[in-house]
Chain A
């Protein structure tokens, strides 16, 4: 159900930004690993929510940025595989610099009316 409420939050935001007379055909979302979102599940939830909003067929693109840690001892920055990875200097203490973002990057739209060319 997590993914459904996230898809609904996305829809709230898109409603505010969708230019008039435009069809939504795709969205791009950047979700850091801290939010525990499974892209496949979000896609399923998005299909349901976007159809309810009248945007059926719109494509969801998920970007999963890596964690980024900064070592509390030596200051080194790196992208760990898991958030609990130790620094190469041996220190287990690191601050999270990235991996918690949750951003609607962009939406893809096309004109709802056919322009006579």
Chain B
């Protein structure tokens, strides 16, 4: 039997990218600013979103899609602060993909939402490869994970638009070389800002400011493009 090679040269994540593009069009038409929040398990993603809903819920209409392998625990925590929460269970899947987000959107009324935050499955590797249609990727680390996590996960750092370091309240108790951590991030991604937070002590103002300035900016832009 004769065998032969068929050249393909096609992006493997093409299907996901196509769906992400469709999501993106939906977001832009609705004038929603969308953040993909990526961090390891327990970095404080849901805690940050609880605080965000408490602090910004009166100024911005915020929706959240939260992905976890199992349980509705994060979704339930967030539902105490907003009705625009969708929990997605990924089972053995280690990340959200664009198709899961597309289906989750059926359960949200985007015209009621200014800002959509997608809490990805706790994982520093896989979510980096799967675009969801977001405007910005935000990478979250925390002091208790150790100061080498940015350097060990360069892929997240280089592809993030914003980086967060949470649990700053633990600095006095844990050996954590903060200058070194900052330097690792600088080396990998000189364009990304690093915000240092302690969600537990309600210290997250730079994050709130970042969200306000970005979602307002985007909404104004979408009004302009609708008029044209």
Contact = CB atoms under 8 A, between A and B. Distances in A.
Nearest to B185: A84
A106 B12 contact: no
Contact of A109 (B4, B92, B126, B128): B4
Given A17-B8, A106-B8, A110-B4, A9 B128 contact: no
B16 interface: yes
Contacts, number: 104
A29 B126 CA distance: 18
Interface residues of B, number: 35
A55 interface: no
Given A13-B10, A102-B13, A104-B10, 18 more contacts: A1-B92, A1-B93, A2-B126, A5-B94, A6-B129, A12-B15, A17-B8, A34-B129, A36-B125, A83-B154, A84-B151, A84-B154, A84-B188, A86-B187, A104-B12, A106-B8, A110-B3, A110-B4
Given A2-B94, A5-B93, A25-B3, A105 B129 contact: no
A105 to B, nearest CB: 6
A23 to B, nearest CB: 8
29 contacts: A5-B97, A9-B12, A9-B16, A17-B10, A19-B6, A25-B3, A33-B155, A34-B159, A36-B125, A36-B129, A83-B154, A83-B155, A83-B158, A84-B188, A86-B187, A92-B190, A93-B190, A102-B11, A102-B13, A104-B10, A106-B7, A107-B5, A107-B6, A108-B3, A108-B4, A108-B6, A109-B3, A110-B1, A110-B2
Nearest to B123: A2
A9 B93 contact: no
Contact of A13 (B8, B126, B151, B188): B8
A35 B184 contact: no
A17 B9 contact: no
A107 B187 contact: no
A41 to B, nearest CB: 12
Contacts of B94: 1-2, 5
A74 interface: no
B228 interface: no
A106 B4 CA distance: 10
A44 interface: no
A82 interface: yes
B189 to A, nearest CB: 10
Given A5-B93, A84-B188, A103 B154 contact: no
B95 interface: yes
A97 interface: no
Interface string B12-32: 111110000000000000000
A114 interface: yes
A111 B3 CA distance: 7
A102 B8 contact: no
A72 interface: yes
